[in-house]
């Protein structure tokens, strides 16, 4: 069998094309099932790519990590059959065989690391020494699995390849250059690259962003972009164009080339011819991207962030956007809160999954007209990657420099047939994506600061605290907490400060209870809020005026209890009672913050 390392030292390595799109599986059947149900058909595809000139072929096992994670019976037999078919075909020409592993789901019960390792070890037992982890949108679990694999198979050659959109980000919002850098610096990955999603021209532009990765670089684009005709997906990219674009990459130093979706033996044959026509002496890596021209210094902080980072206690106030299209009263309320001493206005993103005026548009209007610092909430519930990016670019252009990234309340059950969740991200991945948009050659000249939510009332607070640490690792700068309406919430806030230290900016949540009915409703129907029974009983029989007075007193006492562990306060306005919040801000400024 071909020694991949020796070949790469002499010339570029040519892979096969897209098995899944070339082999026509029966409707509803996984392509991998054909390893057992139609072995001759799979063998014929392998032989066609080898006849076209491929130096290496992939086992027909792309979906195995997903099947193994689902604990589907028989995935091991699919692996065995897939390996045996590829090895048989490759043995006829001396080509290399790569055990092919697609993305593995990552869950708390079964981490991706365990799934990758189980599948990779299965192939190692069969004799595999070359491994391809492909079409990944994140590196979760990959490096850990490879380290463990190389303890068993030290001589293993491992190629890791990411699926990247033409703008340079994966579908989970990871920036390609950062992913490639992590693989190159890991010390256990032998080659790294990009595959799928993008067409040859876009892939070439992406490679130019990577510069010299320090490892052999792999490029396996789709034949083009898919066209759906009569429920059939077709790729119309021509072999000649495919070969021309990839041979240019080879001339610039890319060492591993091949094809993904839509690439046929004809594409690989054309590329073989083009590669054979190249001069023998080729650069070992793509030319580094030229240094960028120096740009003016960009203001990265606003008044709120500067105050927070210099240790002054801040006050943020949440005011829900209108349910209709009239902002007149809302802007007046925001103006009053600003005059009262609020440092920041936060706007929820369709709370409890019911439509209100868009939080980001409202934030831009408030910032533009009042010059007030704003923190729009951004949920993962309603937008995919494209919509999220478009909104973030608009916010940055409007001068908004911070957002709150949250998963978002689920759509109520009764509405799910008509209103669909999106959830392409969770809040950690969304934060990671937002901060990745800033940097040299990227979309934003300076980063947007990302805050997250912290539920001090979570039943299993240890899990909540662990997630908070993960959020910090993924780019968040701090947290706005759920309201403190119990002694346990204060204790959990203290534990948060002790655990996370000063690296996390914490705004303690304060929500004035205004009546017993209000307190009972929040305790029983609002997710993430817990009101002590003693507080509920205090409001019995009080009218509106007395209820607001007691609510103010409870809120001030909660703020005093939270003050030693918080960098500021996050005030939630009940029923849009701006006058009540003006009084609360005044008391906090007098009794707590100043």
pLDDT of residue 351: 78
| Plot region of 177 (φ>0 → left; ψ -120 to 50 → alpha; else → beta) | alpha
Domain ranges of the chain: 4-276, 312-507
Contact 16, 46 (CB under 8 A): yes
Q: What is the pTM of this model?
A: 0.79
Rounded Cα gap, residues 272 and 276, in angstroms: 6
What is the dihedral sign for C-alpha 88, 91, 93, 97?
Answer: positive
Nearest to 542 by CA among 570, 516, 508: 516
What is the dihedral sign for C-alpha 224, 281, 134, 214?
Answer: negative
Instruction: Please state the three-class secondary structure of 187-219 as a single string.
Output: CCCCEEEEECCCCHHHHHHHHHHHCCCCCCEEE
H or E element that contains 56 = strand 56-58
Residue showing tokens 């993962």: 380
Contact 89, 48 (CB under 8 A): no
Is 364 flagged in the annotation as binding? no
Nearest to 492 by CA among 540, 529, 458, 442: 458
CATH class of the domain whose range is 4-276: alpha beta
Nearest-5° Cα angle at 420, 417 to 424: 150
Is 196 flagged in the annotation as binding? yes
Is 260 flagged in the annotation as binding? yes
Q: What is the DSSP letter of 508?
A: E
Instruction: Please state the three-class secondary structure of 225-258 as a single string.
Output: CEEEECCEEEECCCHHHHHHHHHHHHHCCCCEEC
Burial track 451-473 (b if 16+ CB lie within 10 A, e otherwise) = bbbbbbbbeebeebbebbeebbe
594 residues of the chain, pLDDT tens digit each = 789 999 999 999 999 999 988 887 555 567 999 999 999 999 999 999 999 999 999 999 999 999 999 988 999 999 999 999 999 999 999 999 999 999 999 988 899 999 999 999 999 999 999 999 999 999 999 999 999 999 999 999 999 999 999 889 998 888 999 999 999 999 999 999 999 999 999 998 899 888 787 899 999 999 988 776 655 667 778 999 999 999 999 999 999 999 999 999 999 999 999 999 998 777 666 654 544 444 444 445 689 999 999 999 999 999 999 999 999 999 999 999 999 999 999 999 877 667 889 999 999 999 999 999 999 999 887 788 888 999 999 999 999 999 999 887 665 554 445 555 655 678 888 898 899 898 877 889 999 999 999 999 999 999 999 999 999 999 999 999 999 999 999 999 999 999 999 999 999 999 999 999 999 999 998 888 999 999 999 999 999 999 999 999 999 999 999 999 999 999 999 999 999 999 999 999 999 976
- Assess if CATH 1.20.200.10 describes domain 312-507: no
**Those residues with Cβ within 8 angstroms of residue 387's Cβ, 6 or more apart along the chain or in another chain:** none
pLDDT of residue 284: 65
């Amino acid at each position: 069998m071909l020694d991949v390392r020796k070949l790469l030292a002499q010339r570029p390595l040519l892979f096969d094309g897209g098995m899944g799109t070339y082999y026509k599986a029966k409707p509803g059947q996984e392509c991998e099932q054909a390893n057992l149900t139609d072995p001759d058909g799979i063998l014929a595809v392998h032989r066609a790519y080898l006849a076209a000139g491929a130096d290496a072929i992939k086992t027909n096992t792309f979906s195995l990590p997903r099947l193994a994670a689902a604990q589907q019976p028989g995935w091991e037999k699919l692996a065995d059959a897939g390996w045996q078919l590829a090895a048989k075909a490759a043995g006829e020409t001396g080509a290399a065989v790569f055990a092919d592993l697609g993305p593995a789901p990552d869950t708390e019960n079964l981490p991706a690391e365990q799934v990758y390792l189980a599948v990779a070890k299965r192939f190692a037992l069969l004799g595999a020494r070359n491994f391809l982890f492909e079409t990944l949108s994140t590196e979760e679990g990959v490096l850990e699995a490879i380290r463990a694999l190389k303890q068993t198979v030290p001589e293993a050659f491992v190629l890791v390849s990411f699926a990247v959109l033409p703008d340079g980000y994966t579908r989970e919002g990871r920036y390609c250059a950062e992913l490639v850098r992590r693989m190159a610096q890991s010390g256990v990955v032998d080659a790294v690259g990009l595959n799928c999603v993008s067409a040859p021209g876009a892939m070439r532009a992406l490679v130019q962003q990577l510069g010299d990765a320090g490892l052999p670089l792999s490029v396996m684009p789709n034949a083009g972009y898919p066209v759906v005709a009569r429920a059939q997906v077709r790729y119309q990219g021509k072999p000649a164009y495919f070969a021309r674009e990839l041979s240019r990459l080879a001339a610039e130093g890319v060492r591993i080339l091949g094809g993904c979706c839509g690439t046929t033996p004809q594409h690989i044959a054309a590329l073989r011819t083009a590669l054979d026509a190249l001069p023998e002496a080729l650069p070992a890596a793509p030319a580094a991207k030229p240094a960028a021209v120096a740009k003016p210094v960009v203001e990265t902080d606003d008044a709120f962030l500067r105050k927070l980072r210099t240790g002054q206690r801040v006050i943020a106030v949440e005011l829900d956007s209108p349910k209709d299209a009239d902002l007149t009263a809302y802007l007046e309320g925001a103006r009053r809160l600003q005059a009262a001493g609020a440092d920041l206005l936060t706007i929820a993103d369709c709370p409890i999954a019911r439509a209100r005026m868009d939080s980001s548009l409202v934030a831009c209007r408030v910032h533009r007209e009042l010059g007030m610092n704003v923190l729009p909430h951004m949920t993962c519930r309603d937008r995919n990657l494209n919509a999220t990016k478009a909104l973030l670019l608009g916010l940055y252009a409007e001068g908004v420099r911070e957002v709150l990234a949250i998963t978002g309340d689920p759509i109520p059950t009764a509405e799910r047939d008509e209103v669909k969740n999106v959830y392409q991200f969770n809040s950690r991945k969304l934060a990671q994506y937002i901060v990745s948009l800033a940097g040299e050659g990227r979309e934003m000249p300076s980063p947007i600061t990302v805050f997250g939510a912290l539920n001090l009332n979570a039943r299993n607070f240890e899990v909540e605290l662990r997630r908070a640490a993960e959020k910090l690792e993924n780019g968040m700068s701090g947290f706005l907490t759920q309201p403190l309406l119990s002694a346990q919430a204060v204790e959990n806030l203290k534990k948060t400060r002790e655990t996370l230290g000063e690296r996390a900016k914490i705004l303690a949540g304060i929500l004035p209870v205004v009546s017993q009915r209000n307190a009972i409703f929040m305790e029983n129907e609002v997710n993430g809020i817990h009101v002590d029974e003693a507080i509920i009983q205090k409001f019995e029989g009080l009218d509106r005026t007395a209820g607001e007075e007691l609510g103010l007193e409870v809120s001030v006492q909660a703020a005093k209890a939270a003050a030693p562990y918080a960098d500021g306060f996050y005030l939630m306005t009940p029923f849009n009672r701006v006058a009540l919040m003006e009084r609360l801000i005044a008391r906090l400024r007098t009794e707590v913050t100043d």
